[in-house]
Amino acid sequence: MPGASGYRRDIGFFSATMIIAGSMIGSGIFIVSADIVRQVHSSQWLLLTWCITGVLTLCATLSFGELTGMMPKAGGMYVYLKESYGPMAGFLYGWSCFLVIECGSIAAVAVGSGRYMGTFFPAVSDSHWLLGPWNLPAWQVTRDIAMGPYAFGLTSARAVGIAVILVITLVNTYGVRLGAWTQNLFTVAKLGAMAALILFGLTMTPKILPVGGPYVAPLSLAPITLLAALVVAQVGSFFSCDGWHYIGNVGSEIKNPKRTLPLALLAGPAIVIGLYLLANLAYLRQLGPTGIATATEDRVGAAAMGAIFGPVGGSLMAGAIMISMFGYVNGASFTTARVYQAMGEDGLFAKGAGSLNRHGVPAWSLWLQAIWACILTLTGSFEQLVDYSTFASLLFLVAVITGLMVMRVKKPDLERPYKTWGYPVVPLIYILGAGSILVFLLRYKPAFTWPGLVLVLLGVPVYFWRSYKRPNPNQPVT
């Protein structure tokens, strides 16, 4: 049955949990461990990186559940930030979501799926250029901060990513039930693939013994460099754990949302984080830190299965990982479009974005999102797109968890079906931990973090322009 907003409450607890798990498990867990080892140098630091991310993520989801129960509306973080800080904060999130955060994440994972397709078709690679490259040299902004270099153009891997985005967008224009069913299918398949990877990786002996010891001796680095490396390495692990908040975007389509949303936010992330830690233990047993760091095209998951079963095992795992990536793109695409629809209703997004099609989904928003994500696939490699999207995403996640504390003061009498366990310590742990990562990223990974921050700030004049262009600009956004 359609609700007051026109959305249909067709998503139950299982589908909600699968949306969260499927949106979290994309390409990251099968790729980013290689880059993490290259930064932190040893197996112990690799596991510590994932543990820190896991703790911070659980602190965030425990806190976020209170917001979803209070305001189970389409738009998720856009709504929560608007209620906490005012309409400009909500707009800046939606603006950044479109330009930087979610479209960048969709593009990154779509390109990652092309990278894994290279297992079957060697011509598909992020180094096989179809158009370009058009290189932009590094720009020395200050003595310590340089931006770039960047390589724009179309590679065969990026072409595959564009095709994935377009097909999944088309599927999601036919209704939330089809989108949720597709997500359930992808998520069950990827959970099965991860379970197989963990089971075989932890119980079977590799055909070639892994290389032991650190990738690079950590004692050769100064303590501050080790700290910086550990913090900056969180980019990959945070990217892999991102996506849990997408469920808030479909709040208007959840059955019994005040109960279902907080429970799904506990179950989904806990399952995923546990699987991630076990997967990294399997990688270390099969490959060792050096094998992880030097995996072909960073395809760590496929390399681990290849170490057990040979080329056939690597190919099977690569296929399963591609399905996992498709599931992420599906979950991110169909949930995030609801943010732009909510903004469209407020007159703060493109004309037509606020409407729903005859299947009860925001088709205009879905296609606008797809077009921009396809453009972003042309701007950088998988790692660059991860950096491009993660900084801005963390920035707003810190803001929304802080907003929970603001709402406790601002609207203490608002109904809260679920209250954050361990408040205020739990949200403060996330705010301080993620906030520290933001500071280190601005210093040590400026090439994509500073442009991301600039794009967020550019939303301020755009907000005033859109506010002025609304049919009744003197009417506040509600």
As a three-state string, the secondary structure of 344-404 is HHCCCCCCCCCCCCCCCCCHHHHHHHHHHHHHHCCCCCHHHHHHHHHHHHHHHHHHHHHHH
How far apart are alpha carbons 438 and 379 in whole angstroms?
22
Question: Quick one: tokens of 164?
Answer: 């994935």
DSSP 423: T
pLDDT at 281: 94
Q: What is the DSSP string of 308-328?
A: HHTHHHHHHHHHHHHHHHHHH
- Of 104, 441, 102, 54, nearest in space to 237 by CA: 54
pLDDT at 424: 92
The CATH number of the structural domain formed by 13-469 is: 1.20.1740.10
How does 285-294 read in b/e, with b if 16+ C-beta sit within 10 Å? bbbbbbbbbb
Alpha-carbon dihedral of residues 129, 388, 364, 61, nearest 10 degrees?
130
Q: Where along the chain do its domains lie?
A: 13-469
Assign 413 to helix, strand or coil.
coil
pLDDT at 397: 92
Q: Is 25 exposed, middle or buried (0-12, 13-18, 19+ CB in 10 A)?
A: buried
Is-contact 77 270, C-beta < 8 A? no
How far apart are alpha carbons 358 and 282 in whole angstroms?
47
Q: CA neighbours within 13 Å on the CB side: how many for 123?
A: 2
How far apart are alpha carbons 190 and 320 in whole angstroms?
6
How far apart are alpha carbons 69 and 71 in whole angstroms?
6
Counted residue by residue, the chain has a size of 478
How does 164-177 read in b/e, with b if 16+ C-beta sit within 10 Å? bbeebbebbbebbb
- Inter-helix orientation angle 77-85/382-410, to 10°: 50
* Sequence-ordered list of residues with C-beta below 8 angstroms from that of 75, at least 6 positions apart, any chain: 94, 248, 249, 251, 338, 339, 341, 342, 343
How does 51-63 read in b/e, with b if 16+ C-beta sit within 10 Å? ebbbebbbbbbbb
How far apart are alpha carbons 210 and 214 in whole angstroms?
12
Is-contact 171 159, C-beta < 8 A? no
How far apart are alpha carbons 28 and 145 in whole angstroms?
27
* Sequence-ordered list of residues with C-beta below 8 angstroms from that of 329, at least 6 positions apart, any chain: 26, 106, 109, 110, 113, 164, 165, 168
Is-contact 446 98, C-beta < 8 A? no
Residues of the chain with pLDDT under 50: 1-4, 216-222, 473-474, 476, 478
- Of 303, 374, 287, nearest in space to 107 by CA: 374
pLDDT at 471: 57
How does 423-442 read in b/e, with b if 16+ C-beta sit within 10 Å? eeebbbbbbebbeebbebbe
The neighbour count for residue 457, using CB atoms within 10 Å, is 10
